Structure formats: structure tokens, C-alpha cells
């Protein structure tokens, strides 16, 4: 049983880091769907919500310890992503953020596109029952 739990945590860590390594900001709905299908993470498409006020895609892992939302603008481009994770994934998520991005302060990291054109803000927010990782573009 311990081995199974450790494997689940390891796969959860890989999925957290692979989703964080890919910035979806600025991508269309179809591009996000394609990239998520091609990824080797454990997130599966759950639903698409499109109302007059909101448009987002929702992905979850099998044991529902992680949910990822892609929030879209009125122009159909991803404005930001938001991951909601169980606290069992916190240490691995923070280690991954620290190793992939530039730590600022107060659970905030920065990343830059390869060409230096875009700057991304990654914020970890600890809630009562889960934590969130929000990624947005801070500079065009």
C-alpha cells in the first residue's frame, strides 16, 4: 500500500511540473485542448463552460487531488491558468516551482519566454482545504 501511495504522489508531482512547464497564456481553446491531449500528464478533460460571463476548460486527475482551469478572454485566448491541488502535493509543487522558475517573495515566482517578449507571474495561494497555483502573463 505504501508503494502505491508513493507512486501516486510521484505521478502527481510529474503532472504538476509538466503542466507548469508549459505556458498556455495566449493560446486558443483548440490549441489548449491539443496541447493537453499531447501531454503525458495525468489530467483528463472534464468539461468546457461557456456562458456570457465565463469561458473555461476544466481538467482533473483521476483521484481528483488536482484540478486545472484554463480561463479564456472574450477574444478566445487563454488569460490565465489556475491549478487547485490537495495539500499532499504541496511540497513537490513548491520544489518544482523553485527549480523551474525565479522565486520572488511571498510564494511568487517569475518566468520569461525564450525570446524575452513575455513575463509570467506564478502565484501559490494556500487555502483552507487546498492550494492554488495561478499563472498569468504580467508583461506583453
Distance, CA of 86 to CA of 71 (rounded, Å): 20
Range of the domain at 65: 2-139
More reliable by pLDDT, 115 or 104: 104
Quote the pLDDT of residue 114: 87
Report the b/e string of 70-92 with b at 16+ CB within 10 A. bbbeeeeebbbbbbbbbeebeeb
Average pLDDT, the chain: 86
**Total number of domains in the chain:** 1
Q: How far is CA 87 from CA 1, 9, 28, in A?
A: 20, 11, 30
Query: Is residue 10 over pLDDT 90?
Result: no
**pLDDT tens for residues 48-85?**
999 888 899 999 999 999 999 999 999 999 999 999 99
Whether residue 104 contacts residue 93, with contact meaning beta carbons closer than 8 Å, is answered with: no
Amino acid at each position: 500500500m505504501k508503494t502505491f501511495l508513493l507512486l501516486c504522489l510521484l505521478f502527481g508531482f510529474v503532472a504538476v511540473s509538466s503542466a507548469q512547464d508549459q505556458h498556455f497564456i495566449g493560446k486558443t481553446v483548440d490549441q489548449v485542448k491539443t496541447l493537453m491531449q499531447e501531454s503525458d500528464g495525468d489530467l483528463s478533460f472534464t468539461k468546457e463552460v461557456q456562458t456570457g460571463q465565463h469561458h473555461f476548460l476544466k481538467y482533473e486527475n483521476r483521484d481528483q487531488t488536482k484540478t486545472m482551469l484554463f480561463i479564456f478572454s472574450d477574444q478566445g485566448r487563454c488569460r490565465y491558468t489556475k491549478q487547485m491541488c490537495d495539500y499532499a502535493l504541496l511540497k513537490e509543487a513548491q520544489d518544482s516551482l523553485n527549480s523551474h522558475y525565479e522565486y520572488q517573495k511571498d510564494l511568487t515566482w517569475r518566468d520569461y519566454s525564450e525570446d524575452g517578449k513575455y513575463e509570467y507571474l506564478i502565484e501559490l495561494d494556500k487555502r483552507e482545504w487546498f492550494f492554488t497555483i495561478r499563472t498569468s502573463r504580467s508583461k506583453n
